[in-house]
Amino acid sequence: MSWPRQAMGIAGALLVLAAPPWLLATVVGPPLPGWPTGAQFRDWIADPLTPQALTVGLTTLAWLLWLAVAYTVAVTAARRLQAGARWLRRLPLPTPLQAAATSMAGAAALTTAHAPASELPNVPLPASTEGPHQRPSDVVVRAGEGVTVAGGWLPDETARQVTAAAALVWLRRRRAYQPGRDPGDAAPLTPMPDTVNAVRAAVADRQPPPATTNAAVPDLPATWVAYVGDGAADATRGVLVTRLLAALRDPPDTARVLVTRTTLTTLLPDLAAAAITIPGLRVADTVEEAISLLPSPAGAPALFENNSGPLVLITASPSAATADRLAGLTRRAQVVALGAAPLGCTWHIDRHGHTIDARTGQAGPRLCVLDRTAATDLLTVLAHPTPSVSDGTSSTPAPRKPPVDVSVRIPRQIGSDIPPAVIAPPAASPAVQLRVLGRPALTIDGQPVTIRRSAALQVLVLLAVQPDGATTTQLVQAIWPGVPVHTVTGRLYTTISALRAAVRAATSVTVLASTDDRYHLDPDGVDVDLWRLRIAAHHAAANLTDPVPAWRTVIDAYTGDLAAGHTWPWIDQAREAIRRLVLDAYASLAAAHNNPHDRLRTLQAAILVDPYNQDLHQRAADELTALGNPAAAERLLHAHQQLLHRSGVAASETPVGTRR
């Protein structure tokens, strides 16, 4: 708030405090000239509604109202004064280094005030005083850079790599799924961790990155560096995660990080005990073993042609003898020691990732900092297992096991299970149509309704996925992950009000209803294409006599991916479950055909629904081979392999040849 507005606020408060009592005392006078006598009290009881009694009562009420206002103003002023006193007590004083720098800058300014300058000087911003170590005044921290999550801070490039890693997880799940097989053998649809969803939501709200961006991991010293300070452990976890994220597109055997087991147990005890494999990470039992695993010196110069060296050795604070050995590894690996070390550089790191070189006092780059929960979430995405494809000899899918409740196949985003009411077909087609398969759209009597807020569109799609509804907290957590619920609840209310207003302008039908503190779509007033797909899938699973027409109905009801074109963090799980539902229908229909040409056409149509699925390509290649066209089968598998390569799936995970 600017000072004119503050002055006006103070003047208004004083006016409210001073004007009413002055007017009351001047015009009306005091409420009672004195204490009432016994005779006056008896007369008032006998006739309470006299003009004098009413005047006294109104005057007393006016004084009481003024006292309430004065009490409120006094309490508010006291609270602000108390907050100001606390701020003054925490007001940091300049350090000797800052005072000296300020004096030198002042002297230089006086001596050069009239000297002509050939270029504008680089004026530093004021130094930050966060953490136990003060940041020098030549550090420029721009607001909005990086992504802040509940467990730390990530640079923009690292956040984009997290988004790419999450997308790669879903691509691998699509590649590994085997349509029409036993649902117990399907690749799991585990949702992304909370930290990953928060990062994805933050990246989606950002503008596209500029042409040149800073590296995800800033330059480390040429020799090795020791991390100390409140943020040392978080920064070490940040180096571990950022380097492993950078290894996503490396060859499978490439090592980016080498860490001793003791240090890994200190940083991430759950990961050390999980016995899982993370691409790019190697764990050594001791420092001596880690040194033996480093590349030979002959190949070391080529490893550091850029600032993102392929190998970082992370270890605990070494002894003097071990430090001497590590000092000779400068051309073979970059060494990060957690704790003070006898040799090398020492960086003081605060909990926000700001660094200071202890030897020179100069500020270094801001590092990625992650606590245990955030780092484990990100590494879980990197280490997510990919189920292997069956090596069976038959290309015909196993018979399905109907009937199965379709609501089990649709992942639960929020709320409870789908009520049976949504399975029953509607009596008549409502005037309000909600399309969420393909590009989402809301139409009323055939006319599209303009939905200006992205959050409003998310509410509609999310409630279509979960027909039993969602509470305010659940909607906020899905649409704005990683943000405290109480800070964005008002945005949700504004979003829902705007959505209801847009609908009311076109129809009187209730689209978005609220029952028992849960928002839901009105099934009597809204026709949702996803609900019709679920009804068809339910009927197909229950039809044991002639399921072929039912499978065709499921296929015809699918008009595209759920909310195609949108990358909301919560959408992937539901989108993949619906896609699998349709792929199962394609696989079952193909298995029911006796004509190999019909099977091939059905499989080709299924490949158009999911071009990343390996099992469908393998079945189609087997059909082509059986029809006497092995060259076409090889071309199909090769095209699929190239697609996976362009998408970032490792070559070792792709099919090699036609399954016989």
Give the tens place of pLDDT for each residue, 620-649: 999 999 999 999 999 999 999 999 988 887
Percent share of the chain, pLDDT over 70: 69
Poorest-pLDDT segment among 208-222, 237-251, 263-277 = 208-222
Same domain assignment for residues 440 and 377: no
Residue in the structure block whose two tokens are 């609908």: 503
Same domain assignment for residues 408 and 521: yes
Task: From 388, 419, 443, give the residue that closes a domain.
Answer: 388
pLDDT over 50 at 459, yes or no:
yes
Tokens of 115: 């000297």
Percent share of the chain, pLDDT over 90: 36
Closest CA to 61 of 99, 90, 20, 91: 20
Query: 223 or 569: which carries more pLDDT confidence?
Result: 569
CA 524 to chain centre: 34
Residue in the structure block whose two tokens are 């068809």: 536
Residue 123 domain flag: no
CA 369 to chain centre: 16
Q: Are strands 224-228 and 345-349 parallel, antiparallel or unpaired?
A: parallel
pLDDT at 590: 95
Poorest-pLDDT segment among 2-6, 22-26, 71-75, 539-543 = 2-6
Residue 77 domain flag: no
Same domain assignment for residues 365 and 500: no
pLDDT over 50 at 96, yes or no:
no
Instruction: Output b/e per residue, 603-619; b: 16+ Cβ within 10 A.
Output: bbebbebbebbbbbbbb
Q: Are strands 312-316 and 526-528 parallel, antiparallel or unpaired?
A: unpaired
pLDDT over 50 at 60, yes or no:
yes
Confidence class of residue 35 from pLDDT cuts 50, 70 and 90?
low
- 3-state class of 144 per DSSP? coil
Residue 75 domain flag: no
Query: 104 or 167: which carries more pLDDT confidence?
Result: 167
Pair 157, 165: CB distance under 8 Å: no
Q: How many domains does the chain have?
A: 2
Across the chain, mean pLDDT equals: 76
Ranges assigned E (strand) in 234-307: 257-260, 281-284
pLDDT digits (tens, 9 = 90+) for 576-605: 999 999 999 999 999 999 999 999 999 999
Task: From 592, 617, 650, give the residue that closes a domain.
Answer: 592
Confidence class of residue 271 from pLDDT cuts 50, 70 and 90?
confident
Confidence class of residue 88 from pLDDT cuts 50, 70 and 90?
low
Tokens of 55: 């005047």
pLDDT at 395: 39
Same domain assignment for residues 379 and 489: no
| Strand arrangement of the beta sheet that strand 224-228 belongs to | 281-284, 257-260, 312-316, 334-338, 224-228, 345-349, 355-357
Residue 419 domain flag: yes
pLDDT digits (tens, 9 = 90+) for 369-397: 999 999 999 988 887 454 444 333 333 44
Pair 339, 316: CB distance under 8 Å: yes
Q: Is 302 left (phi over 0), alpha (psi -120 to 50) or beta?
A: alpha
Same domain assignment for residues 546 and 504: yes
Residue 212 domain flag: yes
d(CA 129, CA 599): 69
pLDDT digits (tens, 9 = 90+) for 298-351: 544 433 333 345 578 888 877 777 777 776 665 667 888 888 877 778 899 999
Pair 366, 354: CB distance under 8 Å: yes
Pair 110, 117: CB distance under 8 Å: no
pLDDT at 409: 32
Residue 619 domain flag: no
CA 126 to chain centre: 31
Q: Is 235 left (phi over 0), alpha (psi -120 to 50) or beta?
A: alpha
pLDDT digits (tens, 9 = 90+) for 495-529: 999 999 999 888 888 889 998 889 999 998 899 99
Same domain assignment for residues 458 and 578: yes
Backbone angles phi, psi at 552, to 5 degrees: -65, -35
pLDDT at 572: 94
Q: Are strands 334-338 and 312-316 parallel, antiparallel or unpaired?
A: parallel
Closest CA to 580 of 379, 326, 404: 404
Residue 168 domain flag: yes
Same domain assignment for residues 184 and 312: yes
Residue 448, domain CATH: 1.10.10.10
- Which residue range is the domain that position 381 belongs to? 144-388
Task: From 577, 592, 607, give the residue that closes a domain.
Answer: 592
pLDDT over 90 at 425, yes or no:
no
Q: Are strands 512-515 and 518-521 parallel, antiparallel or unpaired?
A: antiparallel
pLDDT at 93: 47
Same domain assignment for residues 366 and 330: yes
pLDDT over 80 at 490, yes or no:
yes
pLDDT over 80 at 450, yes or no:
yes
pLDDT over 70 at 554, yes or no:
yes
Same domain assignment for residues 448 and 330: no
pLDDT digits (tens, 9 = 90+) for 143-157: 347 899 988 999 998
Tokens of 387: 């189920």
Residue 605 domain flag: no
pLDDT at 133: 35
